[in-house]
Amino acid sequence: MHDKTESMTSSSVDDGAQPQKRTSSFDASAFIARNLRLLPVPVLENIRLHTAHSGSRLSRLGGADPEAPAPYWAYGWAGGAVLARHVAENPHLVHGRRVLDLGTGSGIVAIIAARAGATSVVAADIDGNAIAAARLNAAANDVELDLIHADLLDGPPPAVDIVLAGDLFYDEALAKRALTFLEACRAAGIDVLIGDPYRVPLPTEKLRCIAEYSVPDFGLGSDGGEVRAGVFSLAGS
């Protein structure tokens, strides 16, 4: 199984630029637009995302802060890809409904939901750079998203009809928090769909697989090797 955190540590695509202290005037959106390439998504070629490459200099986004989140949003991960593909092929899941894309990253799942006719799409992430990237990606794909820079996992269930969660189960502690939040959402009558390539922290005993696809995953390297990934609902729902 390909761990998302290890992949970013050992395989991160960058040009070796040394982290620099960021000034208060640093513009993440301008940096992303200038340094990342707007490329088609392999499984959804009508969608384009700002994507990292060997000259992206992504280390500069974190500055000298050792606690800065890794730039997961700049790469293609299987959990988001499988969930986006499933929603694209089954637009009735979100059409006319209020959607939360939890841990939006690049915004790929949120963009697909908006394209599929969702009434509204909230895209939330704890990484401000991910929010900047998702905003640029939404504009590039001609959709509107309600972007929220916040950790929602300790809060109450949101006022939505369905929560979409791709690539949230790559870390044991995060997986436990995410599952607790998603179970609370389901208990409140909100539908939940999870996308994941069967990473170790995924609580498969509490989930029901409703679809599988082979999709690219950065964990296999920048050449875009494919993995088997699933779309899951909570068991008993």
Give the chain's domains with CATH numbers: 78-234 (3.40.50.150)
Exposed/middle/buried for residue 46 (C-beta within 10 Å: 0-12, 13-18, 19+): exposed
Distance CA 72, CA 4 (A): 8
Note the pLDDT tens digit of each residue in 185-202: 999 999 999 999 999 999
- Is residue 18 very low, low, confident or very high in pLDDT (cuts 50, 70, 90)? very low
Distance CA 182, CA 157 (A): 8
Note the pLDDT tens digit of each residue in 120-179: 999 999 999 999 999 999 999 999 999 999 999 999 999 999 999 999 999 999 999 999
Amino acid at position 116, single letter: A
Residue 219 has pLDDT above 80, yes or no: no
Note the pLDDT tens digit of each residue in 5-16: 555 543 344 554
CA atoms within 13 A on the CB side of 196: 27
First-last CA distance in the chain: 27
Note the pLDDT tens digit of each residue in 55-107: 888 888 865 566 778 899 999 999 999 999 999 999 999 999 999 999 999 99
More confident call, 45 vs 212 = 212
- What's this model's pTM, rounded to 2 decimal places? 0.89
